[in-house]
Amino acid sequence: MTKRPPTTRLKKYKAQPQEYEGLYGKFTLTERDFEMLETVYAYRHITSDQLRAVISGSAQQISRRLQGLFHNGFLARYVPRRRMRGDLETGSPVMAYGLETKGYKALTEVREQDAADSGEDAEEVAWKKAYSRRQEWFLEHAVMISNVHATLDLALRGRGEPKLVEWDQSRDVRGEVTVSFPRKGDRTYRIAPDAHFAATEGTRLSNFFLEADRATEESRRIYSKFVSYWWYLQSEHYLENYENAQDVRVLFVTTTERRLENLMKWLGELEKPNSPKGHGGFGWFWFTSEERFDLAQPESILEPIWQTVTKPDRLRVLA
């Protein structure tokens, strides 16, 4: 059974447009504002630090417009208790942001207008009001995913090779496979990755599934994940729906070095479900911890910080 943290409600801040009316006046959305809304939507939930890192421009100006987007109802602002910054004055937490209804409507309108101008169909903004009412454990997990995404994006930005060509956190990355066993009958294995992304280097395309592990799941649940990926990555559904499917890694990013050691230990203890044909096995699974890379130095995620149970030395996930 998955061990989930208590369902502590987040501190969700209330917008105060009247108090900030003198600062912003009549708030009119700018191109930069739409870029920020699109970024928050793409990341789902993102901290102010991460947002300032991935959007180019003055950090002070970005922070000012971010406040304006919040106080005028376009963004929701949260703070998990664990992200209260001890190095700052009391009451100065690291904020996290998500889309609000007004921001969703603004993005939908601008996409529809752009589509009308180009004669193409508008890309849907897949958002629901329920997304702004998250529990603390959910936001912590989402911010962890955003940290990997932002660091990798910045590390590859402006480089010729390798190049990030896709990042997908939708339900489309989920998959399942039914395996028939001679004595046990049929069994269905399901995967629900936190993200799938692809990267190219020359003519080579590599696939990556991300698992952000906050050390809240017990060993039995982790064993189940390993086995589910094991069978799914051999399935027709996977092999037929992903380009260059045999070039694939499942990236486990966890919180601490101790947890990393446990994950690798559990995989090493796993009895191989079968001998994959042509590709795969224990080498599918790569591990690192948040202690090994830093958003402030994004190139660190491209350094030899990854490990597998088959190769004891630290590896680069992208050459």
Q: What are phi and psi of 297, to 5 degrees?
A: -130, 70
- 35, part of any domain: yes
User: Are 104 and 162 found together in one domain?
Assistant: no
User: Are 165 and 298 found together in one domain?
Assistant: yes
C-alpha to C-alpha distance for 288 and 263, rounded to whole angstroms? 10
Q: How many domains does the chain have?
A: 2
| Closest to 125 measured CA to CA, from 74, 83, 55 | 74
- 56, part of any domain: yes
- 215, part of any domain: yes
User: 166 - beta bridge partners?
Assistant: 198
Relative orientation angle of helices 59-71 and 31-43, to the nearest 10 degrees: 80
- What CATH number does the domain containing 71 carry? 1.10.10.10
What's the domain range around 36? 11-135
User: Are 120 and 191 found together in one domain?
Assistant: no
- pLDDT tens readout for residues 169-220: 999 999 999 999 988 899 999 999 999 999 998 889 999 999 999 999 999 9
* Confidence at residue 130, expressed as pLDDT on a 0 to 100 scale: 77
User: Are 189 and 253 found together in one domain?
Assistant: yes
User: CB burial class (10 A; 0-12, 13-18, 19+) of residue 16?
Assistant: exposed
User: Are 99 and 173 found together in one domain?
Assistant: no
* Confidence at residue 24, expressed as pLDDT on a 0 to 100 scale: 54
- 142, part of any domain: no
* Confidence at residue 280, expressed as pLDDT on a 0 to 100 scale: 86
Read off the amino acid at residue 54.
V
Unique residue bearing structure tokens 């417009």: 65
- 241, part of any domain: yes
C-alpha to C-alpha distance for 38 and 47, rounded to whole angstroms? 14
* Confidence at residue 14, expressed as pLDDT on a 0 to 100 scale: 59
User: Are 108 and 168 found together in one domain?
Assistant: no
The segments of the chain whose pLDDT lies below 70 read 1-26, 80-93, 134, 319
C-alpha to C-alpha distance for 137 and 265, rounded to whole angstroms? 25
User: Are 165 and 297 found together in one domain?
Assistant: yes
pTM: 0.88
C-beta of residue 237 within 8 angstroms of C-beta of residue 190: no
- pLDDT tens readout for residues 125-141: 988 887 777 677 788 89
- 317, part of any domain: no
- 86, part of any domain: yes
